[in-house]
Amino acid sequence: MTSPLVDIVRAEIATTGPITFARFMELALAHPEHGYYAAGPARTTRTGDFLTAPELHPVFGWTLARQLHEAWERLGRPEPFVLREDGAGSGTLGLAIVAGLAADGSGLAAAVRYLPVEVSRRRRADCAERFAAAGLAGLLAASAGGEAPDPVRPFAGAVLANEYLDALPVHLVERHGGSFREVFVDVRSVPGVAGRPGGVPAAGDGFVEVLGEPSSPALAARIGGLGVELAEGQRAEVCLALSPWADSVAADLARGLVLVLDYGREATDLYDRRRMAGTLMTYRGHAADPSPEAAYRDVGERDITAHVDLTTVRALLAARGLAHLGTTSQAELLVGCGLEELLARERAEARDLRAALELRRAVHRLLDPRRLGGFRALLAGRGIASEPPLRGLSFRILGSG
């Protein structure tokens, strides 16, 4: 059965004309009723379409808790310490972090106030229920369904974004005849006619791609500002939504840490000619499909993501007073934060073979550079000492600065 979203997208195109791919992606993922993240079952779990690190095993959150503890100490142990989590889902990572802090005997366990930011109403409700069931409703901001009053903004604390920025809508641009064009999404009017001359064919659910003048000068300005040049025929993603996100981080965080964990690359790599088709990827039922037409199939039932431009994230945060502290791989961040110590502790206390094996498998996946270990971790901050390097950066070999 086709999702009602297909009719919603078609109706918008009928009213406004072809829409940008960014608008299409926004509707497909975040439409409040029928979007991929709003509707349907949990997407990021074993039974969903892909498994994120927090859903793999709580050891991920226990390990990040150690980085947060160190940041809290560096900031002079502020109370409250607000942990804003963007794209928090149903709070799996937040719960694991709080559990990790408690298991470590960290004073931050009592000072932390969790502020989930989540577009899905259902996941927000799940999060409130799970915190209440764990007896932790007092840690959850009132606006998120918890008992703690909403934090006074700006606050001291941290902003955490795990696999969030790659879900923000991206514009698609291409270079043809030396000029910069944007991909728009239209409804196919003639059955059987898919695609556009000289371009990548698009099909599925009756949508077709058309090229047009860029919808905003900010697109060319972003690419130009990065000092990169697209090759003839090259397609690339541009995430303009990173700017309002950086605005909101800068507005909220008076003092503290920003921790971004995601599929990410530097701009020179992202826009390199080796990536003629860009990095857009779709997922359904644990199967990845990078073909451009897949984005228009199973609209509202398929995840769409694009690699995060870390060069831009860093520059946008720096321009708002949030200094870059370092960029590394997720594996190195986790090892720096003490993942192996945690593994040893759990082993020593293990009473259950199945749980011990699950933990071991999870650690392998988290450290494997071809899997979750190859994600990037970008740390930035305001009012937090950068020296000595935070523990998550003690294995730093990547990134700039």
102 forms part of the interface with ligand SAM (CB under 6 A): no
Q: Scanning residues 188 to 247, which ones bind ligand SAM (CB under 6 A)?
A: none
Distance CA(289)–CA(303), nearest Å, equals 10
Q: Shortest distance, CB of residue 44 to ligand SAM, whole angstroms?
A: 4
Which of 225, 107, 242, 76 has the alpha carbon at shortest distance from 161?
A: 242
H or E stretch including 247? helix 242-252
Measure the CA–CA gap between 96 and 63, rounded to whole angstroms: 9
Sheet-wide strand order for 81-86: 112-117, 81-86, 155-162, 253-262, 376-382, 323-329
> What is the smallest separation between the CB atom of 273 and ligand SAM, expressed in angstroms?
29
Beta strands at 235-238 and 81-86: parallel, antiparallel or unpaired: unpaired
Q: How far is the CB of 260 from ligand SAM (least distance, A)?
A: 11
Residue among 23 and 181 whose Cβ is closer to ligand SAM: 23
Taking the complex as a whole, how short is the minimal distance between the CB of residue 27 and ligand SAM, in angstroms?
12
Binding residue (CB under 6 A) for ligand SAM from 87, 157, 278, 326: 87
Exactly one of 89, 338, 392, 399 binds ligand SAM (CB under 6 A); that residue is 89
If the CB atoms of residues 287 and 350 are measured against ligand SAM, the closer one turns out to be: 287
Q: Which residues pair with 261 in a beta bridge?
A: 162, 377
Among 24, 37, 62, 296, binds ligand SAM (CB under 6 A): 37
Please report the DSSP string for 49-103 in residue order: S---HHHH-THHHHHHHHHHHHHHHHTT--SSEEEEEET-TTSHHHHHHHHHHHH
Q: Of 108-167, which residues contact ligand SAM (CB under 6 A)?
A: 117-120, 123, 162-164, 167
Residue pair 143/124 in contact by the 8 Å Cβ criterion: no
How big is the site for ligand SAM, counted in residues (CB under 6 A)? 18
Residue 247: closest CA among 320, 321, 169, 162: 320
Question: How far apart (Å, rounded) are the C-alpha atoms in residues 366 and 345?
Answer: 17
**By beta-carbon distance, which residue lies closest to ligand SAM?**
87
How does 206-225 read in b/e, with b if 16+ C-beta sit within 10 Å? bbbbbbeebbeeebeebbee
Q: CA distances (Å), 76 to each of 66, 72, 124, 137, in order?
A: 16, 7, 31, 25
Q: Which is nearer to ligand SAM, 52 or 327 (CB)?
A: 52
Which of these, 8, 37, 38, 33, lies nearest to 23 by C-alpha position?
8
- Of 7-15, 51-59, 173-181, 329-337, the segment contacting ligand SAM by CB under 6 A is 51-59
Comparison of 162 and 327: residue with beta carbon closer to ligand SAM: 162
Give whichever of 163 and 237 is closer to ligand SAM, judged by the CB atom.
163
* Residue 36 vs 207, nearer CB to ligand SAM: 36
Q: Under a CB-based contact definition with an 8 Å cutoff, are residues 28 and 35 in contact?
A: yes
Compute the distance between CA of residue 295 and CA of residue 200 in angstroms, rounded to an integer: 12
| 48-56, 198-206, 275-283, 390-398 -> range binding ligand SAM (CB under 6 A) | 48-56
Cβ 61 to ligand SAM shortest distance, Å: 10
Residues in the chain: 401
CB of 55 to ligand SAM, least distance (A): 5
Pick the closer one to ligand SAM by CB: 85 or 182. 85
Q: How far is the CB of 120 from ligand SAM (least distance, A)?
A: 4
Residue 169 or 181 with smaller CB distance to ligand SAM? 169
Q: From the CB of 299, what's the least distance to ligand SAM, in Å?
A: 16
Residue type at position 356? A
Judged by CB under 6 A, the residue of 18, 48, 54, 336 near ligand SAM is: 54
Shortest distance (Å) from residue 336 CB to ligand SAM: 20
Least Å distance, CB 58 to ligand SAM, is 12
> In the complex, which residues of this chain contact ligand SAM (CB under 6 A)?
29-30, 37, 44, 52, 54-55, 87, 89, 117-120, 123, 162-164, 167
